[in-house]
Amino acid sequence: MDFLLSGDFDPAERERWRAALTAATGARPWCDGEAFDPAAIEVALVANPPPGRLAGLPALRLVHSLWAGVDRLLADPTLPAGVPLLRMVDPAMSAAMAETALWAVLALHRGFFAYARRQRERRWQPHAQRRADEVRVTVLGLGQMGHAAARRLVAQGYRVAGWTLRAPPPADDGIGRHAGAAALAPLLGASDIVVNLLPLTPATRGLIDSRFLAALPPGAGLVNLARGAHVVEADLLAALDAGRLRDAVLDVFAAEPLPADHPFWRDPRVTVLPHVAALTDERSAATVVAASLAAWRAGTPAGALTGWVDRQRGY
């Protein structure tokens, strides 16, 4: 069984992935540009491969994304329709995401971004302090990452609600559950901070628009750790100007890298991160891939494997 490793890696990163995957699976994947037989490739391990890359592999039987979000893969019309697709579900990535969510929520709650702005102005100006249990945090998306972030925020003492498109199974984890479009505006109206960890699908693209932002109480904070296309950036800037939002922490953008002339770079109310909220750890991700491959080879149906993507649903 031959593997292909394809993605928009730099050469060093590609070799780190290849070494980690070889160590975990016992098979050394081929990489783009090498002299392999396309007809021998049965498994593709991909991280944003160039569109069309997975066409022309007649023996392909499984695609495993090394990225958690598969929106770009699913947007490729040449992705072979009948081949099961798995996305990365790595506890190490979820833990990193929960750390970033916690940092952003803490900094918003305690006004540390405001202190950073005042430092630049040499302004010594304390502001009032609220307890964590007075701060209402809504996490959009309760998948692997959203749930990890929400649990971490609960553990930190915040009042945490989770919002999902479809009703999630109930759980006794301290996270208030809200589902469906009709539940969103009332929930936003009762949110001091919103953390977005939704998958990007046709149903969630552009969700964070002027209507969404108008539903927030004045002075709310937004943390986007999911995909740039969830946010209508012009609407976000308008909401900041209107004082609807006090601060935004953005890790993802409509165009990445964020263009040099983008207003977010210079906006003191916006904290820009270069898509690093949860970097994939090659070694732990490779063990996730190896475990899924072993289960698949042992006969587990693809639909029962961790991270199986329902293409209709989009994640």
What stretch of H or E contains 177?
A: strand 176-179
CB nearer to ligand GLV: give 111 or 307. 307
Q: How far is the CB of 47 from ligand GLV (least distance, A)?
A: 8
Task: Report whether 37 contacts 282 (CB < 8 A).
Answer: no
Determine whether 227 is an active site residue.
yes
**Stretch 24-63: interaction string toward ligand GLV, x if CB under 6 A:** ----------------------------------------
Interface pick for ligand GLV out of 24, 41, 68, 245 (rule CB under 6 A): 68
Catalytic residue (choose from 61, 110, 262, 275): 275
Nearer Cβ to ligand GLV (40/92): 92
Draw the binding track, 243-282, toward ligand GLV (x: CB under 6 A; -: no contact).
Answer: -------------------------------------x--
Nearer to ligand GLV, 134 or 256 (CB): 256
- Residue 86 touches ligand GLV, criterion: CB under 6 A: no
Tell which residue, 42, 99, 44, has the closest CA to residue 67: 44
- Cα dihedral value 41, 45, 47, 52, nearest 10: 20
> Which residue in the list 14, 87, 178, 227 is annotated as catalytic?
227
Closer residue to ligand GLV in complex, CB, 49/69: 69
Which pair of structure tokens corresponds to residue 56? 């022309």
Active site residue 230: no
In the complex, the smallest distance separating the C-beta of residue 250 from ligand GLV, rounded to whole angstroms, is 13
In the complex, the smallest distance separating the C-beta of residue 206 from ligand GLV, rounded to whole angstroms, is 18
| Residue 69 engages ligand GLV in binding (rule: CB under 6 A) | yes
User: Which is nearest to 38 in space by CA: 57, 52, 51?
Assistant: 57
Token pair 């004082």: residue: 243
**Residue 284 Cβ vs ligand GLV, minimum distance, rounded to whole Å:** 13
Which residue do the tokens 């922490």 mark? 249
Q: Quote the least distance from Cβ 70 to ligand GLV, whole Å.
A: 8
- Closest-CA residue to 109 (of 42, 76, 158): 158
Q: Does 67 sit near ligand GLV (CB under 6 A)?
A: yes
State yes or no: cis peptide before 257, omega within 30 of 0: yes
Nearest to 69 by CA among 177, 159, 199: 199
Please compute Rg for the chain using Cα positions. 21
Phi/psi for 47 (5° steps) reads -135, 95
Closer residue to ligand GLV (CB): 69 or 221: 69
| Separation CA 164–CA 180 (nearest Å) | 6
Strand partners, 136: 159
Could you list the active site residues?
A: 227, 275
Binding site for ligand GLV (CB under 6 A): 67-69, 88, 280
